[in-house]
Copies of this chain bind each other. A is one copy, B any other.
Amino acid sequence: MKKEFSQAELAEIKTKDNKAFKGILIPSSEKDTIFIKLKSGYNIGILKSKIKGVKKLGKIKIERPEATQHKHNKALPTISILHTGGTVASEVDYSTGAVYPRFTPQEIVAKFPELGSAANIHSKLISNMFSEDMRFAHYNKIAKEIESEIKKGVNGIILTHGTDTMHYTSAALSFMLQDLPIPVILVGAQRSSDRGSSDAFLNLASAALFIAKTDFAGVAICMHANMNDNDCLILPGLKTRKMHSSRRDAFKAINAKPIARVNYYKQIAEFLTHDHKKISKGTKLKVHLLRENLRIGIVRSHPSMHATELKAYSNFHGLILEGTGLGHFPVSKIDQKTGENEKILSEIKKLAKKMPVFMTTQTIFGRVNINVYSTGRKLQEAGVIGNYSDMTAETAFVKLAYLLSNHKNKEEVKRLMNENLHGEISKRIVGEEEFL
């Protein structure tokens, strides 16, 4: 196999407070800072004003896998990898500092040769974006691409995705893709695939193994189960959240159990729940698109809140509230000069007359219960819905987008927000949810 190389420069940086950092210099447009990639895989930036000296240690070559041809094997399932961007299928070019995607089927299999022995891999670039930039238009594009792959008869789809908003997309697709006949597994990575500590390979391979070995149909996320590079979890598309900014096991099921555990090295996929939907060739997918110009906000309560923070939403189509505890906002009359809390209550009342206003909790885990305290009952009287829901703010947000896009009657939207449609609201009693 012919090898490709990229050139990089090694250096040691000594700081004025006598620390030393050794690594690969990363080109950057920031003039006051030098960035280096440490052996641990992390990039750090050091202010030039704090640097005593930079010792260049010479150039090194970094190997890139070569693109090879991948042959179709009729005995294996066929998996489409749809690429949207993010760390999972990207590499850093150390001669330019740019991150570039590796997305052709050949390149992905060259990068992850084991994938080719588990399945026939198709691959397509949908977009190459940071996931935090996603808008409803992108969800529609992804849903249509998935539909088109399913029409081709693939056995499963892997959607590579930036991790920042992967749980929003998984929830959106769970509502948008009804009667999904195959698995759609979202895969991200917390560290790019050219780092020694990258989770990209194991997440991708585990998703492919799960698709190849099981009868699961539906939308799920496949990411690391823990800090070790052994197990991945298949997490429910509607009840998962990124809970750490950098760890490989950042994704956690919220008020739910993981669907399955996958050990790629042992070639095991073990279900942890037993009520998943199954693959069904006869099922006809229905795609429900989103209205791309919908305006839906998320606003959280906090001490010393001001009513003006809610006024911004007066011309929106819907609003998700993130209350404290069981779902509270500062709405009680208290002995203070401003009377701000009463203004907040009247602002919520105004908004709830115009649009669905749905309560979630900023505790992340647990269920909303706005019957327990008078502050919660006041919110209900003001028109706030969401009592007894255990949806995350993220899932409630995309559910509201989905319902507002597909139902004209606002009262019907409110009724459906409070109902469990596809597993987004679990039936357990308060206090018995899965937790940390």
Give bound CA distance, A327 to B246, whole Å: 11
Verify A129–B244 contact, CB threshold 8 A: no
Give bound CA distance, A301 to B132, whole Å: 8
Give bound CA distance, A328 to B132, whole Å: 7
Q: Within 8 Å CB of A165, what residues of B?
A: 302-303, 324
Out of B242, B303, B365, name the residue touching A325 (CB < 8 Å). Answer: B242
Out of B169, B252, B366, B373, name the residue touching A244 (CB < 8 Å). Answer: B366
CB distance from A61 to the nearest CB of B (A): 24
Q: A246-B431, A309-B312 are in contact. List 6 more A-B contacts (CB 8 A).
A: A132-B301, A135-B334, A135-B336, A245-B368, A246-B326, A309-B313
5 smallest CB-CB distances across A and B, nearest first, come from: A245-B366, A164-B324, A164-B325, A312-B312, A132-B328
A sample of 18 cross-chain residue pairs with beta-carbon separation below 8 angstroms, ordered by A number, consists of A42-B430, A43-B372, A45-B371, A130-B328, A134-B330, A139-B303, A164-B328, A243-B363, A245-B368, A246-B430, A294-B304, A295-B308, A298-B302, A300-B322, A302-B397, A308-B312, A309-B312, A436-B436
Give bound CA distance, A311 to B310, whole Å: 11
Verify A135–B303 contact, CB threshold 8 A: yes
When each residue 235-253 of chain A gets 1 if its CB lies under 8 Å from chain B and 0 otherwise, what string results? 0000000111111011010
Residues of A within 8 A of B (CB): 30, 33, 35, 40, 42-45, 129-137, 139, 162-165, 168-169, 242-247, 249-250, 252, 293-304, 306, 308-309, 311-313, 315, 322-332, 334, 336, 338, 340-341, 361, 363-369, 371-373, 375, 377, 394, 397-398, 401, 429-431, 433, 435-436
Give bound CA distance, A328 to B166, whole Å: 14
Verify A303–B245 contact, CB threshold 8 A: no
CB distance from A176 to the nearest CB of B (A): 13
Give bound CA distance, A297 to B132, whole Å: 21
Verify B377–A30 contact, CB threshold 8 A: yes
CB distance from A221 to the nearest CB of B (A): 14
Verify B295–A306 contact, CB threshold 8 A: yes
CB distance from A403 to the nearest CB of B (A): 15
Q: Within 8 Å CB of A133, what residues of B?
A: 330-332, 334, 341, 375
Verify A168–B245 contact, CB threshold 8 A: no
Give bound CA distance, A373 to B35, whole Å: 12
Verify A311–B312 contact, CB threshold 8 A: yes
When C-beta atoms are compared, the residue in chain B nearest to A242 turns out to be B363
Q: Within 8 Å CB of A129, what residues of B?
A: 332, 334
Verify B45–A250 contact, CB threshold 8 A: no
Verify B325–A435 contact, CB threshold 8 A: no
When C-beta atoms are compared, the residue in chain B nearest to A322 turns out to be B300
Verify A324–B366 contact, CB threshold 8 A: no
Give bound CA distance, A338 to B294, whole Å: 12
When C-beta atoms are compared, the residue in chain B nearest to A130 turns out to be B375
Give bound CA distance, A322 to B252, whole Å: 19
Known contacts: A303-B165, A312-B312, A368-B245. The answer to whether A330 contacts B137 by CB under 8 A is no
Q: Within 8 Å CB of A244, what residues of B?
A: 363-366, 433, 435-436
CB distance from A361 to the nearest CB of B (A): 5
Q: Within 8 Å CB of A372, what residues of B?
A: 43
Q: Within 8 Å CB of A328, what residues of B?
A: 130, 132, 164
When C-beta atoms are compared, the residue in chain B nearest to A307 turns out to be B312
Give bound CA distance, A259 to B313, whole Å: 41
